[in-house]
Structure 1
């Protein structure tokens, strides 16, 4: 345990946030939260954000930023795997086109999968025992110039990506 006056490590802070989300009631409607947003059946939190890349998108700038997030993701993955076993990797590409009006018979992806598929290509997912919920982690980016983000989501079992 860190001494009283020192901040917790980023992994400890990230785990604290995800533990809170896993235990928290879901909001009845879309709403912003301290760490992100939520709605009926889901929470999404931004755990860490890089700089944006409006001025410089060179590999010397982007790669170290992404590597830091990947290190955070690896630390979170190790801890959560110790708790709940190996995650499954979910490919998010198939969910991307589910909101296409040209295919009215295809049901849109539920949140939080809908938000994640617009930011990332895959996510790691654990079922949280005895809760009827799952936790997903990914690194995403909304557009080339925007920051990369380490994201966590908690969703109801009914929205578990298959």
Structure 2
């Protein structure tokens, strides 16, 4: 989990993180934490751009809904507006198939960052900027009911998933 005090606070700060990740080379091997609180591995980067409070002490439904809307969903909407202005409308990709629960071969997993994202979010908004050779996605996720909601930015190699695509097997 990211240190909330070190997370970007404004849309401009979050865009700076996205722009930095857009040009950062992917590691050749192994996963590693990044100085901005994210992590990278072969063919992917993930960063936490916003985070709500956690819910260890109080899981009141109204409190949870307010935290999701005020923290992560509002930040996603603001970023999505800017990114849509840059690259056009995003595609919504359902992440459920990447969990592998319906996979005939349980030993084959979806590639990162799709495997991680499918474990914390139901869908993601995907842009494919021309000339980047990679895709960017924004998703709101929660690892467990007691954990905070997070706005996540993820980058992957050029072959981005499309709405309705079957996960690679």
| 2:93/2:125 contact within 8 Å kept | yes
Q: Following superposition, which runs of at least 4 residues in structure 1 exceed 6 angstroms of deviation? A: none
Corresponding residue of 1:59:
61
TM-score with structure 1 length normalisation?
A: 0.87
| 1:98/1:108 contact within 8 Å kept | no
Aligned residues: 152
Structure 2 gap segments, 5+ residues each: 1-7, 163-169
Shift of 1:98: 5.8
Moved more, 51-60 or 135-144: 51-60
Secondary structure in 2 matching 1:35: coil
Q: Give the 5 Å matches for 1:23-62.
A: 23-28=23-28, 29-33=30-34, 34-62=36-64
Q: Which one has the bigger strand percentage? A: 1
User: What's the RMSD between the two structures over aligned residues?
Assistant: 1.8
For 2:144 and 2:153, the matched residues in 1 are separated by 19
Corresponding residue of 1:70:
73
For 1:92 and 1:57, the matched residues in 2 are separated by 25
Does residue 1:83 correspond to 2:86, yes or no? Answer: yes
Shift of 1:16: 0.5
For 2:95 and 2:146, the matched residues in 1 are separated by 21
Shift of 1:60: 2.9
TM-score with structure 2 length normalisation?
A: 0.84
| 2:50/2:150 contact within 8 Å kept | yes
Secondary structure in 1 matching 2:128: strand
For 1:99 and 1:46, the matched residues in 2 are separated by 28
Shift of 1:9: 5.8
Max Rg structure? 1
Shift of 1:35: 2.6
Corresponding residue of 2:3:
none
Structure 1 gap segments, 5+ residues each: 1-7
